[in-house]
Amino acid sequence: MKKLFFFLFLSVPVLLTAQLQYPETKKTDVVEDYHGTKVADPYRWLEDDNSEETKAWVKEQNKVTFGYLDNIPYRAQWLKRLEEINNYPKYSSPSRKHEYFYYSKNDGLQNQSVVYRQKGLEGKPELVIDPNKFSEKGTTALAAFSLSKDGRYAVVGKSAGGSDWRTFFVMDMKTLSYLPDSLSWVKVSGASWQGDGFYYSRYPTPDKGKELSTKNENHQVYYHKIGTPQDQDVLVYEDKDNPQRFHFVFTSEDERYVLLSISDRGKGKDGNALWYFDSKSGNKVFKPLIKEAGEFNYNFVDEVNGKFIVSTNDGALNQKIVLIDPLHPEPANWKTLIAEKPENISAVTSSGGKLFVSYLKDVTSRVYVYDFSGKLEKEVKLPSLGTVSGFGGEKEDKYVFYTFTSITFPPTIYRYDIGTGKSTVFRKPEVKFNPEDYETEQVFYPAKDGTPIPMFIVYKKGTQKNGKNPTILYGYGGFNISMTPSFSPTRMTWLEQGGIYCMANLRGGSEYGEKWHEAGMRLKKQTVFDDFIAAGEYLIDKKYTSKDYLALQGGSNGGLLVGTVINQRPDLCKVAIPQVGVMDMLRFHKFTIGWNWIAEYGSSDNATDFKNLLAYSPIHNIKPGLNYPATLVTTADHDDRVVPAHSFKYAATLQEHYKGTNPALIRIDVNSGHGASNLKKALETTADIYSFIFYNMKVTPKFNLTQPVEKKAF
């Protein structure tokens, strides 16, 4: 493959050697008493995202930030290259509904992927939904698409501007036209069909002007009948005595059984209860399989002969799969189908009367096929070490699809024949780079307490370990989420320019099961920060990079990670990119569904938790006199998961206390949420981040673009 550009290191002058002039941020005398400890909160007024004062502050901050970014000479070139490398067709795995196969496709640079269907695998594609037409600027996304069992109707969920709020509509799949149905204030919900309607979950209508910040409480389950207005929906379940619970309903494949999952994370419980009713019995009152939400998870997989296949970590921290008779649901009556293994179960699906069980072995996928009695039949042979997803289907399916990817292996869709166990390539993307030019290592570095921590390190072949390579160290470390190797075309532009990319598998995730998770949560959260610091020290010690060429990056819980680490070790890196981070650990539970994180972090309402949270909360541990790295905070005005007030207050505090010459900037996107609301915004954000990192490392990329760069505003 012809190389499109090459890389040169050049020294460049820094634009500003004196401190930037930041907007003046008003301070108030707000002080709160936590268990006898008084904590000042001078920027609390920034929590009101709808006030004119806050809007003016955002405007002035963006003026400084984009003024800085506009002066980076290669910023527009980086964006152009990001557009070039992303401009190839991308497909999802197809899923079958009777004679149709449904899938999504992005032609290359479409802001939103488009839904198509075709009759048979060789049929002519028919456009079903084009989300690019949902809004003028392509910032409204397709957030749900759920077909009825007969394929006659579909629930279409839309998300505006990146918000977690959904509006549900109903499409007639014969005419591909919308019915009058419109359901508002849907959140943390799917659409589970039964008969001529579906179950969904919503919250009561929030106060006007507080839609993106008010605490979400009283999660209700409704049944909506097609063709009726929302105010006629039937309330199926609510629990006003426990307003901080999630209630999620789903149905079995034949729609006979209706199951209700209840989680109580607002009370610090990490597991869920599981209830059900049998529609054929005529009694639509939920009965318990698992009565109370506690520390264990119970996930319905499938139903066979009136009994439920469930995956759980109850008595098996790496999970096991059991068969539960709903008429005799006591644990003593459970039958173990697949016992716990040393490797953690990462996913369980069913199709064609088989169970597909994915395990993580040293953070890479292994997939095995079992029958419904738990007998091992086959291993699915994967192309190499990487990450797999898919295998879902219905009992009558003869084959399924799965997607395999790794850091330099673009997502490739395979068709798996259930009878023969043979995989064949169904769709392989035609990417605009040569994967053979890059090398991926997996190392195990020692944590502060000696625990081996996995880390993936990717770079261009021939890279010298001389301590001068621009390096991004990315981490998350929380919520039982595994950071598995996957492909990103945007990341390739970093690697093309001689950068090194590193992903550390910190404790707090689920890479090695629940023990790995528990080792980095609540009172043990400092372990995650120590693991991240140890990763940086390892990269420096092994001369992949040095403190002058190391950037720390993380989003959401990873934004908290970066914000905390640069308080504790500002000397570790040259650049910090905390994205949509949880920065105020004393008040996170006051907004939207932040109370859901109490199970992970604890709560300042508890005296012991408060002491622990205050010890690392990024906002509360910014110290005058420290030489902070160049910092670019990113957030968005429609982030109603980690509300932007976290980043607003953090940036204001950092700008107040840091008196050095490194920039301390905040980039606030508009009409975007916890993630970018469209591809254009995602690419612009990435171009700004990569350019900011290189610029502050005094490194200049060299691009050889196929088309000239047009001067345009970001």
- Residues 677-708 have pLDDT tens digits of 999 999 999 999 999 999 999 999 988 776 66
Domain that holds residue 375: 342-430
For residue 16, pLDDT beyond 90: no
DSSP string, 313-365: -TT-TT-EEEEEBTTB-SGGG-EEEE---SSEEEEEEEETTEEEEEEEETTEE
* Closest to 581 measured CA to CA, from 517, 512, 654: 654
Q: How many CA atoms lie within 13 A of 363 on its CB side?
A: 25
- Please state the rounded mean pLDDT for residues 272-286: 94
* Closest to 298 measured CA to CA, from 328, 331, 268, 267: 331
Please tell me whether residues 423 and 437 are part of one structural domain: no
Active site residue 674: yes
Helix (H) or strand (E) holding 114: strand 114-119
Report which of residues 15 and 566 the model is more confident about. Answer: 566
Residues of the chain with pLDDT > 90, as a percent, come to 93
Please tell me whether residues 413 and 447 are part of one structural domain: no
> Does residue 215 form part of some domain?
no
> Does residue 138 form part of some domain?
no
Residue where a domain stops, chosen among 410, 430, 450: 430
For residue 714, pLDDT beyond 90: no
Residue where a domain stops, chosen among 430, 464, 498: 430
Please tell me whether residues 404 and 453 are part of one structural domain: no
Please tell me whether residues 394 and 449 are part of one structural domain: no
pLDDT of amino acid 277:
97
For residue 226, pLDDT beyond 90: yes
Characterise 227 by phi-psi region: left (phi > 0), alpha (psi -120 to 50), beta (else): left
> Does residue 337 form part of some domain?
no
> Does residue 562 form part of some domain?
yes
pLDDT of amino acid 11:
32
> Does residue 450 form part of some domain?
yes
> Among residues 148, 261, 510, 556, which one is catalytic?
556
pLDDT of amino acid 708:
63
Distance CA 676, CA 685 (A): 8
- Please state the rounded mean pLDDT for residues 50-56: 95
Please tell me whether residues 457 and 564 are part of one structural domain: yes
Task: Tell me the pLDDT band of 433, cut-offs 50, 70 and 90.
Answer: confident
CATH number of the domain that residue 676 is part of: 3.40.50.1820
Distance CA 249, CA 36 (A): 42
Task: Tell me the pLDDT band of 671, cut-offs 50, 70 and 90.
Answer: confident
> Does residue 45 form part of some domain?
no
pLDDT of amino acid 188:
96
pLDDT digits (tens, 9 = 90+) for 161-179: 999 999 999 999 999 999 9
Phi, psi of 713 (to 5 degrees): -75, 145
Please tell me whether residues 462 and 380 are part of one structural domain: no
Please tell me whether residues 405 and 473 are part of one structural domain: no
- Please state the rounded mean pLDDT for residues 65-73: 97
Please tell me whether residues 470 and 401 are part of one structural domain: no
Cβ burial, residue 627 (10 Å; 0-12/13-18/19+):
exposed
Crossing angle of helices 52-70 and 679-696, rounded to 10°:
60
pLDDT digits (tens, 9 = 90+) for 298-330: 999 999 999 999 999 999 999 999 999 999 999
Please tell me whether residues 445 and 499 are part of one structural domain: yes
pLDDT of amino acid 707:
66
Please tell me whether residues 413 and 512 are part of one structural domain: no
Please tell me whether residues 495 and 636 are part of one structural domain: yes
For residue 10, pLDDT beyond 90: no
For residue 1, pLDDT beyond 50: no
Q: Helix, strand, coil: what percent of the chain each, to 5? A: 20, 35, 45
Distance CA 362, CA 383 (A): 17
pLDDT of amino acid 704:
75
Residue where a domain stops, chosen among 384, 405, 430: 430
Instruction: Output the pTM of the full model.
Output: 0.94
> Does residue 690 form part of some domain?
yes
Please tell me whether residues 556 and 409 are part of one structural domain: no
**Mean pLDDT rounded to a whole number for the chain:** 95
> Does residue 71 form part of some domain?
yes
pLDDT of amino acid 2:
31
pLDDT digits (tens, 9 = 90+) for 599-645: 999 999 999 999 999 999 999 999 999 999 999 999 998 999 999 99
DSSP string, 137-187: TS-EEEEEEEE-TTSSEEEEEEEETT-S-EEEEEEETTTTEEEEEEEEEE-
pLDDT digits (tens, 9 = 90+) for 568-610: 999 999 999 999 999 999 999 999 999 999 999 999 999 999 9
pLDDT digits (tens, 9 = 90+) for 23-37: 999 999 999 999 999
- Please state the rounded mean pLDDT for residues 403-417: 97
Active site residue 163: no
62-96 residues labelled b (16+ CB within 10 A) or e (exposed) = bebbbebbeebebbbbbbbbbbbbbebebbbbbbb
> Among residues 263, 674, 677, 691, which one is catalytic?
674
For residue 291, pLDDT beyond 80: yes
According to DSSP, residue 293 is labeled: -
* Counted domains in the chain: 3
Crossing angle of helices 75-86 and 679-696, rounded to 10°:
140
